[in-house]
Amino acid sequence: MKKKKLQTKTKTNKNQGITLIALVITIIVLLILAAVSIATLTGDNGILTKAQTAKEKNDTAEKEETQKLLQAEANMSFEETEYNGVTIPAGMAPTRKEGESTVNEGLVAVDKNGNEWVWIEVPKSIYTNPDYNGENPPTTENDYDKIEEVLKAYADPYTKGRATDNYNWKDEWYADKGVNDIVTENTVTIESQKNLDTGCGLTLNEYKETYQKMLKSVYKNGGFWIGRYEAGIEGTTGTDEESLKLGRTQSNKPRIDISTSPKAISQKDAIPYNNVYCSEAQKLAKEMTPDSSKTSSLLFGIQWDLVCKFIEEKEVKKQEGSNRESIKASINSDSGEWGNYMNKTFAVKDGKCYILSSSNGYGSTATWQKIPDNYEKPIVKPGPPEGVALFSTGITERNKKVNIYDFAGNEYEWTLEHATVYTSDPCSCRGGVFHGDSSVYPASYRIYDNTTSSYDYTSFRPVLY
């Protein structure tokens, strides 16, 4: 009996040994299966990665399809229409998207060429308001001087330049008659000088007619349209090598040829249209109208000021209990919270950047490239602006106000305003710049330059009226 018990015990131990081995093998198999499953799910070719990529491609395709449908609708629009109290020009259609369908949000419309525009409201009530009209209101749409006076009073304090420059900025025609020898309407000596467009890109009569048309349109319609984005280079909205190559080629040109260069666009993810003279920028902007009865151009100085006022008014409404003076300051003194400046950091993904890494912040080592995954623009203050970056248009929602992107920071923008500070530097740029300090170059900022200047940090933006 004892022997049998001993045998039974031995047999039991043997069975237990087999069970442990099986358990170990099972665990190993499970670990291998888990590793295989994880590898299958993750990684560059994993199911989850492929699913995320597919989702992103699907989202992109949906956006592109929506944009194409809007373009088709705009292309079928042969006359003006009304939408939420705003007149939509022929060749344009409202996006009707959430957050883009009212004036207070920033009403957005797409034109038949795929360009996007935002309506800038200028209330008609200001013309009868004694706070702005000096008790001498305009009575007709042709009362240009009085309309201008009211608009300037309404857009204060953005209408003034820096005190150090004696506020010498005005909307008037100028041209370069040779080697920075500037002529204005008051200094014309021979009739042929009036036909020069070598300053702001318009002849004397073209400038006067365009300015008066703008004033009349603002008075009659209660506002105007502005490009939602800084002007971009047609064909550069993708992140493929072809788009990057086109952007690099155009951005590296010290000068362009209007007849052979790509068209300008107002679309998301484009490489900014820089390295152009002010006069060239005007010619590019003029071609962007979707309707021959409407005019597109660079902004006049008063229009830039009115955009600043529009942002102020809508931000006050949006931010309940907000301090109007602090909002004014964010536009007129320090726009760092909503602009791309060298002393501000913000995370971005998707799109393109022009990382500047030479010792002085901008130079020959700079090039357009696809933004690396999880890239974050570095803080570079104090010290030289190494690592500062220019971005493709509309790179982040952070840099948007009332659906207008990059109005602060990123690029200076040419305007039709005349800088009278120095006779050799008549051209006026507005807004901030990516390699500048946000408290020095806010959204309302003005800077002067000459008629043959073109930089990688100066672009432009169209308006439509």
Residues 223 and 216: their CA atoms lie apart, in Å, by 10
Kindly report, residue by residue over 418-435, the tens digit of the pLDDT.
999 888 999 999 999 998
Instruction: List beta partners, residue 111.
Output: 92
Residues 179 and 189: their CA atoms lie apart, in Å, by 17
Q: How confident is the model at residue 398 (pLDDT cuts 50, 70, 90)?
A: very high
Amino acid letter for position 269: D
Say which DSSP state 300 is in: P
CA dihedral 97, 100, 102, 108 (to 10 degrees): -110
Q: What Rg value do the Cα atoms of the chain yield, rounded?
A: 29
Report pLDDT for 28.
Answer: 87
User: Nearest Cα to 123, choosing from 171, 155, 158?
Assistant: 155
Report pLDDT for 145.
Answer: 97
431 versus 67: the higher-pLDDT residue is: 431
Contact 128, 122 (CB under 8 A): no
Report pLDDT for 373.
Answer: 66
For 127-262, strand residue ranges (E) read 169-170, 174-176, 182-184, 223-227, 232-233
Report pLDDT for 236.
Answer: 94
User: Nearest Cα to 437, choosing from 372, 361, 352, 353?
Assistant: 361
Q: Is the pLDDT reported for residue 31 higher than 50?
A: yes
Specify the pairing of strand 223-227 against strand 462-464.
antiparallel
Specify the pairing of strand 412-422 against strand 458-460.
parallel
Say which DSSP state 416 is in: E
382 versus 442: the higher-pLDDT residue is: 442
Residues 11 and 369: their CA atoms lie apart, in Å, by 72
User: Which two three-digit tokens encode residue 44?
Assistant: 């560059």
Residues 195 and 450: their CA atoms lie apart, in Å, by 19
Name the residue with tokens 């170990």: 24
Candidate from 18-27, 234-243, 407-416 with smallest mean pLDDT: 18-27
Q: What's this model's pTM, rounded to 2 decimal places? A: 0.85
Kindly report, residue by residue over 306-342, the tens digit of the pLDDT.
999 999 999 999 987 779 999 999 999 999 999 999 8
Cα 120 vs. chain centroid, distance in angstroms? 15
Q: Rounded to whole angstroms, what are the CA distances from 377 to 252, 369, 391, 441? A: 23, 14, 10, 19
Q: Where are the domains of the chain?
A: 152-218+237-261+274-464
Helices (H), 222-300: 241-251, 278-286
Report pLDDT for 408.
Answer: 97
Q: What does pLDDT average to over the chain?
A: 87
